[in-house]
Amino acid sequence: MGATMKDIAKRTGLGLATISSYLNGGNVREKNRIKIEEAIEELHFEVNEVARGLKTNRTKTIGIVIPELNNIFFAEIITETEDILRNHGYATMICDCRSDEKREEEAEEFLFHRRVDGLILMPTGNGEKGIQRFLRAGKPVVLIDRKMERTDCDCVLVDNEGAAEEAVERLFAAGHRKIGIIAGPDNIYTAKERLSGYRKAFRGKGLTPEEELIARGDYTIAGGARAMRELMEKNKEMTAVFISNYEMTVGAMMELNDLGVSVPEELSVIGFDNEDFAKALRPRLSIVTQPSGEIARCAAELLLGRLEREPARETGTAESGNSEEERPETVILKTGFVEGRSVKYL
């Protein structure tokens, strides 16, 4: 089932090359063009991209590995990326690794076997093995959200440290001093940076935060709830909290609900990400926002750029061609802040 170019050739009495030429926008005599188009119509011919991919060694497919699809921040990035890539003729294969390092590596292997032309990765683990495989094959890799020290590829980040610092500074500016933080797991890049920004804000005031004010969440809703409870129990004098990712923000707000703590009267709160959620809360939550669209555009641009520049270089020769252009780039984007009514001015 499914007509092939050969069928079209036979039907029109033309050669394979002519059909191929037509299909790829080459010059074909008007008369033949019409014949070909008729044949295509009648035989319901549709190009087989798989065969094309085998021949050209380019599948026009990009792999995306993501910790959780079921996470609005990542999902937003993916949507936009997929859109851009598809507009450039690229399909995307998405693998959700459920924040599991092993599954992440399996996904990379899986995608490599399917010969995707490039990889967009929001890393869960620190394993470079999967990435190196791509790099060695001359396939571009773009990291999103998290940096990996030793790996040589493009990278799109936001200024996590600055974002956290600014958020905490706002709390200071509102007169707060006993400011808690719900931090993330310390093996995650963004979590480290955000905690570091929190500390930096204290340092800027010549202060050092008490250790009890720092609660560890695990970037999940449940973890955020747990951390908030812990914070409330250990810090009777705490007047404000900064929550360092979206899921934990949801969890923390749930917990405050359960505890019957009123915001901002009894506790001021600044959360993270997802404007829609923030606006639906009462009172509206002040949050740090990340530019997901811009992140997606940057990542897609970096990837497409390399894809067009290096025409599937077959040889893995160490010598780099166009020196400047080939160097990995790191783009750092600014975060935003959306003011709600969850911070009380003391």
Q: Applying CB under 7 A, which residues contact DNA?
A: 2, 4-6, 13-21, 23-24, 26-29, 31-32, 45, 47-48, 51-52, 54-57
* Distance from the Cα of residue 239 to its chain's centroid: 33
For residue 188, the SS3 value is coil
94 binds, among a copy of itself, DNA, none (CB under 5 to 8 A by kind): a copy of itself
Nearer to a copy of itself, 18 or 71 (CB): 71
Encoded tokens for 204: 């800027």
Least CB distance to DNA at residue 89 (A): 12
Least CB distance to DNA at residue 18 (A): 4
Nearer to a copy of itself, 77 or 153 (CB): 77
Torsion-angle region of residue 341: left (phi > 0), alpha (psi -120 to 50) or beta? alpha
Least CB distance to DNA at residue 109 (A): 14
Nearer to DNA, 2 or 206 (CB): 2
The rounded distance, in Å, linking the Cα atoms of 238 and 256 is: 14
Nearer to DNA, 4 or 235 (CB): 4
Nearer to DNA, 61 or 124 (CB): 61
Task: Identify whether the C-beta of residue 164 lies closer than 8 Å to the C-beta of residue 131.
Answer: no
Task: Identify whether the C-beta of residue 242 lies closer than 8 Å to the C-beta of residue 343.
Answer: no
Task: Identify whether the C-beta of residue 89 lies closer than 8 Å to the C-beta of residue 307.
Answer: no
Task: Identify whether the C-beta of residue 252 lies closer than 8 Å to the C-beta of residue 303.
Answer: no
Nearer to a copy of itself, 165 or 255 (CB): 255
If one asks whether residue 331 binds a copy of itself (CB under 8 A), the answer comes out as: no
Helices (H), 90-242: 101-113, 129-136, 160-173, 189-204, 221-234
Sequence-distant (6+) residues with CB within 8 A of 309 are 322, 325
The rounded distance, in Å, linking the Cα atoms of 226 and 258 is: 12
Q: Look at residues 275, 307, 304 and name the one whose alpha carbon lies nearest to residue 289.
A: 275
The rounded distance, in Å, linking the Cα atoms of 19 and 34 is: 12
The H or E element spanning position 287 is strand 286-289
Nearer to DNA, 23 or 254 (CB): 23
Least CB distance to DNA at residue 312 (A): 10
What amino acid is encoded at 95 in this protein?
A: C
Q: Which of residues 81-140 bind a copy of itself (CB under 8 A)?
A: 82-83, 86, 91-96, 98, 107, 109-115, 136-138
Nearer to DNA, 40 or 62 (CB): 40
Q: Which of residues 231-270 bind a copy of itself (CB under 8 A)?
A: 250-251, 253-254, 257
* Distance from the Cα of residue 112 to its chain's centroid: 19
Nearer to DNA, 44 or 150 (CB): 44
The rounded distance, in Å, linking the Cα atoms of 139 and 117 is: 6
Give me the 276-295 binding string for a copy of itself, x by CB under 8 A, dash otherwise: xx-xxxxxx-----------
Q: Which of residues 176-215 bind a copy of itself (CB under 8 A)?
A: none
Least CB distance to DNA at residue 320 (A): 23
Burial of 225 (0-12, 13-18, 19+ CB in 10 A): buried
82 binds, among a copy of itself, DNA, none (CB under 5 to 8 A by kind): a copy of itself
69 binds, among DNA, a copy of itself, none (CB under 5 to 8 A by kind): a copy of itself
Binding site for a copy of itself (CB under 8 A): 1-2, 46-51, 53-54, 59, 61, 68-70, 72, 75-76, 78-79, 82-83, 86, 91-96, 98, 107, 109-115, 136-138, 221, 250-251, 253-254, 257, 276-277, 279-284, 313-316
